Homo-oligomer: A and B are copies of this chain.
Amino acid sequence: MGKTLRDSSKDAAAAATLRLRHAGLRPTRQRVELASLLFKNCDRHVTAESLHDEVTDAGLKVSLATVYNTLHQFTEAGLLRQVIVDSARSYFDTNTGDHQHFFLESEGMLIDIPGESIAVAGVPAPPPGLSVDRVDVVIRVKRA
C-alpha cells in the first residue's frame, strides 16, 4: 500500500486545506501550496525570499507579494511566529510553541532550543504602565 508521490502531495494539500479552514483563511491555491511546504515536515525557519525560492523551485508560481502577504496572515492567525534576530531581514518560524534560538548570523541559520530547557531568572518588574509581552533569548553563535 505505498502511496504514490501524487498521493502524498494530495494528502499534504488536504491537510493544509483543513489547517487553513480551521484558521479562518480561504484555502486558495497559493496558500495551500505555501502551507504544504511550511508544515509538511519538521519545524522550519524561513524568510520571505527563501520560501519564495522554494516554492518557485518546486515549479509552482506564487508572487513574492503573496509570499509576504501569506507569511503575515499565517502569523496573524497563529500558524507562524516571527523571530527577530537580524535588523535587515524577517524570519518566520513554524514552531509557535515556547522556545528560543541559536542564531548563526553568517549563514542566517536558526536552531531551536526547547522552552523547557532554558530559564531566564531575575527579570525585574517592567516600568510602571508596562507589562511583559514575551521574553526572547537569542544565543548568537559563531563557527569554530
**Residues of A at under 8 Å CB distance from B?**
82, 84-90, 102, 104, 111, 113, 117-124, 126-127, 129-144
The answer to whether A130 and B143 have CB atoms under 8 Å apart is yes
The answer to whether A137 and B134 have CB atoms under 8 Å apart is no
Taking a contact as CB atoms closer than 8 A, the residue among B84, B118, B137, B144 that contacts A85 in the complex is B84
The answer to whether A119 and B122 have CB atoms under 8 Å apart is yes
| A98–chain B nearest beta-carbon distance, Å | 13
A137–B90 CA distance with the chains assembled, in angstroms:
18
| A29–chain B nearest beta-carbon distance, Å | 29
A102–B130 CA distance with the chains assembled, in angstroms:
10
The answer to whether B132 and A139 have CB atoms under 8 Å apart is yes
